[in-house]
Amino acid sequence: MIEKPTKKTIITVILTSIATIFVSFSIVALILGLTPERTINLLRFIAAKRFIETRYVNPVDDESIIDGAISGLVKSLNDPHSVYLDKNFFRQLHDQTSGSFGGIGVYMGFQNDMVRIISVMPGSPGEKVGLKANDQILAVDATPVTELSSEEIPFRIRGEAGTPVTLSIRRAGEDDRDYQITRDVIKLKTVAGRMLNEEVENSKIFTSDPIGYIRISSFSENSGDEFDSMYRELQKKNMKALIIDLRENPGGVLTSCVDISRMLVPKGRIVSVVDKGGKEEIYDSNLDEKTVPLVVLIDGNSASASEILAGALQDTNAATLVGTRSYGKGSVQVVMPMFRDDGLKLTIAKYYTPSGRSIDGEGIQPDVEVELPPDYSSDTQLDKAIEIARDHFEN
């Protein structure tokens, strides 16, 4: 015989179920660190998501909603270096740091809310359509650059080889116009150099003195090996002093910067990285032998890893810095995969130079400040660096 449950029994079961659910939710909330206020905020998000899904007039894609929500979370931090990376941006970031990517072959500078082309790689898609140094980029695929962060602009220009991108360009003395460019695989060589007393193709002789010159355009996974190879090559040519050009260098892979620093910075601290909890990670140099006299060129677009190298050389009196104040990006980012071939690039720590300086938002002031002429008619910064390098090895 099946006995019919009483009203009291039903109420008891319901109350027990509610209590069980409440206890279970409380345990989950405790594990996730959800305070009552955080729990309310989470419920607000869930309610907003369900309201959109059930009442929005057009069909809703669940993945797009979540992508937008994560992007909004990051943007609320007001940190230009923390950004949500969708599938396309996430792949491009990996390609960029590995040393090759689909792009148009231009170096860009960011200053005073303007994006300007600094140089165009020979044989690149950008050169083929007629892009030139000093061209100002107004928009990427009709999106004004003023609506994009400095982190987003390169990602929008880069993309899969064979696909098009349209840049709106302003050039002195001409009407603004659009250039449609077909992306190609760009093999990124981040280190280039020569002796300045050598005459080589497509370059000028800057001095008759045995001064080496190495430009580091960014820090990719291969930069350490590239620098080591170039440095040894110049040593074989009886280099008496070295100029390292970090102008327009946006940074990159920290470990590559440390590898190069260990070839130049005297024995001791290169940089320390301190996270939110105060945990400190220290990178040191074991270099005992003295290098040739060093002069380092920096400017307002020298950022992040390039500032680590410049700051370490300045603090240890291993180099003279020439140019203008650097960008001031003294923070460290990590990229976390998000399970959908996307990722989250987040600032997780700040770095400090050997003397304990945090240059985040401040930049590095050069030892000798030299401005470039507005029309770029001459490289006054390099001229001054050569003068200082010559004085070092002559005295």
Question: What does the pLDDT profile of the chain (395 residues) look like in tens digits?
Answer: 445 556 666 566 566 666 665 555 566 666 566 677 777 887 888 888 888 888 889 988 888 888 888 889 889 998 888 888 887 777 766 665 555 567 898 878 776 678 888 778 778 899 999 998 779 999 999 999 988 877 788 888 988 889 999 999 999 889 999 999 999 988 778 898 999 987 655 556 677 889 999 999 889 888 999 999 999 999 999 999 999 999 988 888 899 999 999 999 999 999 999 999 999 999 999 998 889 999 999 998 898 999 999 999 999 999 999 999 998 999 988 888 888 788 888 999 999 999 999 999 899 999 999 998 876 678 899 999 999 999 887 66
Chain mean position to CA 317: 27
The residue written with tokens 């696909």 in the block is 163
Q: What CA–CA distance (Å, rounded) separates 232 from 263?
A: 11
pLDDT at 130: 94
Stretch(es) of the chain classified as CATH 3.90.226.10: 191-394
Residue by residue, DSSP assigns 92-124 as HHHHHHHTEEEE--EEEEEETTEEEEEEE-TTS
Please indicate whether residue 329 is annotated as part of the active site.
Answer: yes
Fold of 191-394: 2-enoyl-CoA Hydratase; Chain A, domain 1 (3.90.226)
Q: pTM for the complete prediction? A: 0.72
Please indicate whether residue 187 is annotated as part of the active site.
Answer: no
Which residues, 6 or more positions from 257, have their beta carbon under 8 angstroms from its beta carbon?
219, 223, 251, 305, 306, 308, 309
Please indicate whether residue 315 is annotated as part of the active site.
Answer: yes
Q: What is the 3-state secondary structure (H, E, C) of 222-262?
A: CHHHHHHHHHHHHHHCCCCEEEEECCCCCCECHHHHHHHHC
Q: What CA–CA distance (Å, rounded) separates 101 from 95?
A: 5
Three-state DSSP class for residue 298: strand
The residue written with tokens 């005073």 in the block is 112
Q: What CA–CA distance (Å, rounded) separates 387 from 385?
A: 5
Q: Which of 184, 315, 342, 379 is catalytic?
A: 315
Stretch(es) of the chain classified as CATH 2.30.42.10: 100-187
Q: Which of 150, 217, 329, 345 is catalytic?
A: 329
Fold of 100-187: Pdz3 Domain (2.30.42)
Q: Which of 150, 168, 223, 304 is catalytic?
A: 304
